[in-house]
Amino acid sequence: MEFPSHKDNLDVKDFSPSQTRQRRSSSIIQHLEPDNQDTKIDQQLNPNVNANWVHYKGAWTVHFVIIILLKVFFNFITVLDNNWKWTLVNLTYCIGSYIMFHQVKGTPFEFNNGAYDNLTMWEQIDNGDQYTPAKKFLMSVPIFLFLISTHYANYNLNLFILNGVSCLCVVVPKLAISHRLRVTLY
pLDDT in tens, 101-148: 988 888 887 777 777 788 889 988 988 888 999 999 999 999 999 999
Closest CA to 141 of 76, 79, 70, 78: 70
Share of the chain above pLDDT 90, in %: 48
More confident: 161 or 27: 161
Axis crossing angle, helix 133-152 with helix 82-98, rounded to the nearest 10: 160
pLDDT in tens, 60-77: 999 999 999 999 999 999
Measure CA of the first residue to CA of the last residue in the chain; give whole Å.
29
Closest CA to 28 of 168, 175, 182, 173: 182
Kindly state the DSSP code that residue 174 receives in the 8-state scheme.
G
Q: Where are the beta strands (DSSP E) in 25-141?
A: 29-31
More confident: 185 or 107: 107
CA distances (Å), origin 154, targets 51, 86, 89, 134, 159: 37, 11, 15, 31, 9
Q: How far apart are CA 126 and CA 122, in angstroms?
A: 9
Q: pTM (2 decimals)?
A: 0.78
- Label residue 113 exposed, middle or buried (CB < 10 Å: 0-12, 13-18, 19+): middle
Axis crossing angle, helix 59-75 with helix 133-152, rounded to the nearest 10: 20
- Host H or E run for residue 90: helix 82-98
Closest CA to 103 of 84, 77, 85, 121: 121
